[in-house]
Amino acid sequence: MDIIFIDGLRASTLIGIYPREKAMPQTIEISLQIGTSTASAGASDDIADTIDYATVTARLRAELGARHFNLLERLAEYVATLLLED
């Protein structure tokens, strides 16, 4: 298994339990380690055979920007679920 690293991904989201936190988006920074096999992409040189970093980051930014999370732990679980869907 190989690991793809995405470090320092910044996204805007609503996070927190207090009214002021629910009203104003905050910028968060996350780092991801995604386990996958990159052997096919290494052989084919085709982006379709691996994880497209641009697609992952765009989807995460869009999804996080459209939601509110009370807890950081819930946000982390949501991100993990999104990554495992694909």
Q: CA-to-CA distance for 44 and 54, rounded, in angstroms?
A: 19
DSSP β-bridge partners for residue 9: 30
Question: Which pLDDT score, from 0 to 100, does residue 86 have?
Answer: 67
pLDDT in tens, 20-60: 999 999 999 999 999 989 899 889 999 888 889 999 999 99
Query: Which CATH topology does 2-85 take?
Result: GTP Cyclohydrolase I, domain 2 (3.30.1130)
| Segments making up each domain of the chain, as ranges | 2-85
Q: Would you place residue 1 in the very low, low, confident or very high pLDDT band (cuts 50, 70, 90)?
A: confident
Residues with Cβ within 8 Å of 34's Cβ and at least 6 positions away in sequence, in order, are: 3, 4, 5, 6, 51, 56, 83
- In the chain, what percentage of residues exceed pLDDT 90? 81
| C-alpha span between 36 and 38 (Å, rounded) | 6
Q: How confident is the model at residue 80 (pLDDT cuts 50, 70, 90)?
A: very high
Give the rounded distance of the alpha carbon of 38 from its chain centre: 19
The model's pTM is 0.85
